[in-house]
Chain A
Amino acid sequence: MQNPGNKESLIRFIEQKAREIRIDIVKMTAKAGSGHPGGSLSAADIVATLYFGEVLRVKPDEPDWPDRDRFVLSKGHAAPVLYSALAGRGFFPADWLDTLRQLGSPLQGHPDCKKVPGVEVSTGSLGQGLSMAVGMALAGRLDQKDYNVWVLLGDGECQEGQIWEAAMAASHYKLDNLIAIVDHNGLQIDGRVRDVMSIDPIDDKFRAFGWHVFRVDGHRVDILLDVFQQALDIKGKPAVVVADTVKGKGVSFMEGEKDWHGKAPNPGQLEEALKQLQAV
C-alpha cells in the first residue's frame, strides 16, 4: 500500500480508492448480469476508509496473520465492495473481479471465506455476522491479543433478532475491541426500511443495549476517519457507528432507488454509470 503522507492527502487517497471501488462494483455486477450494486455502492466510502485509510491492520501477503484486525461483512450481499477492496489491497489478483458470480468462481454472490483470502467468515444470510464478530472479540481477549474486530451491518439487517442477541452479548462482555458500523441507507428489498419494518430509533436501541453510539455522514471520508479513531478509543463498551448513506451512491439513477438493491446494470446503464463515476 502506498504511503499517502499527511491527512489531507490520505483523505484524497481514500476518496480516489472509493471511486475505484464504485467503478469495480458497477463493472463487476454488469459483467455478472446480477448482483447487489445498491448496497455495495452505499458502503464504498466506509470500506475504502477501513482498507485504505490505515484503519485495519492486515497483511495481504499473510491473510491468516493471527494478530490482524478482523473485518466481518455481515451484510454479505454487498460482497462486490469487499472484493474490490481486497483486490485493491492485493489479497488476490484483480482479474478475479471479472469472474464474479461465474461458474466455479471464488467470488460468489455472497462471500465464502474458504475461497477468498481476506474474507474472515462466510456471510449472506443476514443477522449472523455480529455474533461471529463477538466470538472473535472474545477469543482475542482470551488470547490477550490487541486486534480489533470490525463488522459492517445493513440497516435492514437490524430487523433480525439475532443482531440484538449479539448486541446484548457484546455489551455484557464489555467488548471494546469490537466496532460495528451500520450502513444506514434506508432501503431494503421491499421498500423503505421505515415502511417495511422500522428500526428507528436505531441510535437509542444500541444505546439501550449498552453501546457507545456515533452517528455520521457515511460518505464523508474525513469524518469516517475521525470517527473510526474515536470508536477505537472507547473503553469498556462496544461502539457502533451509524453511518447515514445513500443506496446506490455515486450513480444518479441508482441513488435512493430500492430497485437497484439486487439488479445489475445493462450495457447502456453501465456506460452511463462509468461516465458519472469517472467524471468525479
Chain B
Amino acid sequence: MRTESIRERFGLAMLELGRRYPRVVVVTGDLMYPTQVHHFAQAYPDRFYDVGIAEQNMIGVAAGMATCGKIPFVCSYANFTALRACEQIRNDICYTNLNVKIAGLSSGLTYGVGGPTHQSYEDLATMRSMANMTVVVPADANAAEAAVFAAYEHDGPVFLRLGRGPEPVVYDRDASFTIGRACQLREGQDVSIIANGPMVYEALSAAEHLEKAGIDCRVYDMHTLKPLDLDSLRSAGLETNLIVTVEEHYIIGGLGSAVLEGLNELGVSTPVMRIGIPDLFPIIGPTNELRAHYGLCADNIVRNVKAALSSI
C-alpha cells in the first residue's frame, strides 16, 4: 500500500493553479503552513492574503474579492470554515452564488490526537445543506489534486473537504475526475459499498476480503456529496441487494444521510446500512487507530456486510 500526503499534494496543486490562472487568489487564516499554501505565497505574494486568526473576516474578504472577479481559494481547516464561519459562507458566498472555493483541511478524524476542537464531523452536514454549494470529498492525493482543478473550472461555490497526512493511494494521477459523477471502482452483484474520502480505500479493501467469502461487492467513490450522483445511486439500488455507506463524518447529515434521501427521491427501497462516526464526541488517538475504534475500517465493513446480508 502506497501512501501520499493529502496536504502536501494540495499545496503543490495550489501552486500550479496559481501559475496557470492569474485570477486565483489565496486567503488563509494563519494556516499557511498547515495547508501548505506557503508554496503559493512564495510564488505569488501579491495574490496571497493571510488575514490572521479571524475566520469570519476571512470568508467575507474572499467574498468581496469574488465580487470583483477574483477566484478566491480559502485554505483553512474544515471546522474553522464550515462551522466557525458557517453563516458567512451561507450569506456572503452561497446566497449570492459567488465563485469562492473553500478548502477545508484536517477534516474528519485526520487530526486524531488534536481532539474535537480540531476535528470535524459536522462539516458535510452544514455545507451540503446550503443552496448553490457543491461539496467534494476526494479519496486520495491524486483525487485531491484533480479536485482542485475541477473546483476552479466549476462556476460557483465549492467546499473541498480534505484530510491532512498520508493516505493510501487509490487513483492514478491521470484518472479523470468529474464533479457530480461518482467513480465505480469495482464491479459486483451482491452489495454496493458507497464511500468517499479516505474511506474509499477501506471500502476497496473490504470488498477484496468479502470476495474471498463469496460476497460480490461493487464499490463507488461518491466524491461529490452535492450534487449527489443519482444515476449511480439508482444503479446501486436496483442492481444489488444491500447498500453500505462509509464515511469519516457523523452518520447524521453526511454521505449516509444523502444516500438515504437520494434513494427516497428515486423511490428505491434497497436496504441501507450506514457506517460513520456515532452521535458523540470521539476520544482521541492516532488517526488510523481512531478510525478503527469507531469502525471506519475494512474489518468492520466486512463484519457489518456479513451480518446485514444474513438478516435480509
Whether the pair B70, A131 counts as a contact (CB closer than 8 A) is no
Please choose the segment from B46-54, B105-113, B139-147, B259-267 that sits at the chain A interface, where 4 or more of its residues have CB less than 8 A away: B46-54
Chain A interface helix/strand/loop/mixed: helix
Whether the pair B60, A128 counts as a contact (CB closer than 8 A) is yes
Nearest Cβ on chain A to B50's Cβ, whole angstroms: 10
Whether the pair B65, A122 counts as a contact (CB closer than 8 A) is no
- Which of A112, A125, A166 lies in contact with B57, CB distance below 8 A? A166
Q: What residue in chain B is nearest A163 (Cβ atoms)?
A: B57
Scan B84-124; emit 1 where CB is below 8 A from any A CB, else 0. 00011001100111000000000000000000000000000
Q: Interface size bucket, A side?
A: 20 to 34
Whether the pair A135, B52 counts as a contact (CB closer than 8 A) is no
- Which of B64, B87, B88 lies in contact with A138, CB distance below 8 A? B64
Cα distance A166–B47 when bound, in Å?
Answer: 18
Whether the pair A142, B47 counts as a contact (CB closer than 8 A) is yes
Whether the pair A113, B96 counts as a contact (CB closer than 8 A) is yes
User: Quick check: is B235 within 8 A (CB to CB) of the other chain?
Assistant: no
Nearest Cβ on chain B to A268's Cβ, whole angstroms: 37
Whether the pair A139, B70 counts as a contact (CB closer than 8 A) is yes
CB within 8 Å for A114 and B97 given contacts A136-B67, A139-B69, A140-B68? yes
Chain A residue numbers with a CB within 8 Å of B52 are: 168-169, 172
12 A–B pairs (Cβ distance < 8 Å), ordered by A: A131-B60, A131-B63, A132-B64, A132-B92, A135-B60, A135-B62, A135-B68, A136-B67, A138-B64, A138-B65, A139-B70, A165-B51
Whether the pair B91, A165 counts as a contact (CB closer than 8 A) is no
CB within 8 Å for A139 and B65 given contacts A131-B57, A134-B57, A162-B56? yes
User: Quick check: is B150 within 8 A (CB to CB) of the other chain?
Assistant: no
User: Quick check: is A90 within 8 A (CB to CB) of the other chain?
Assistant: no
User: Quick check: is A121 within 8 A (CB to CB) of the other chain?
Assistant: yes
User: Quick check: is A120 within 8 A (CB to CB) of the other chain?
Assistant: yes
Chain B interface helix/strand/loop/mixed: helix
Whether the pair B64, A136 counts as a contact (CB closer than 8 A) is yes
Whether the pair A136, B60 counts as a contact (CB closer than 8 A) is no
Q: Interface size bucket, B side?
A: 20 to 34
Cα distance A133–B64 when bound, in Å?
Answer: 6
Nearest Cβ on chain B to A34's Cβ, whole angstroms: 21
- Which of A128, A134, A136, A143 lies in contact with B91, CB distance below 8 A? A128
Whether the pair A136, B65 counts as a contact (CB closer than 8 A) is yes
Whether the pair A142, B54 counts as a contact (CB closer than 8 A) is no
Chain B residue numbers with a CB within 8 Å of A125 are: 87, 91
Chain B residue numbers with a CB within 8 Å of A135 are: 60-68, 72
Cα distance A122–B87 when bound, in Å?
Answer: 13
Whether the pair B46, A131 counts as a contact (CB closer than 8 A) is no
User: Quick check: is B162 within 8 A (CB to CB) of the other chain?
Assistant: no
Whether the pair B68, A132 counts as a contact (CB closer than 8 A) is no
Given contacts A135-B68, A136-B65, A137-B64, 9 further A-B contacts (CB under 8 A): A66-B69, A131-B60, A131-B61, A132-B61, A132-B63, A132-B64, A132-B92, A161-B56, A162-B60
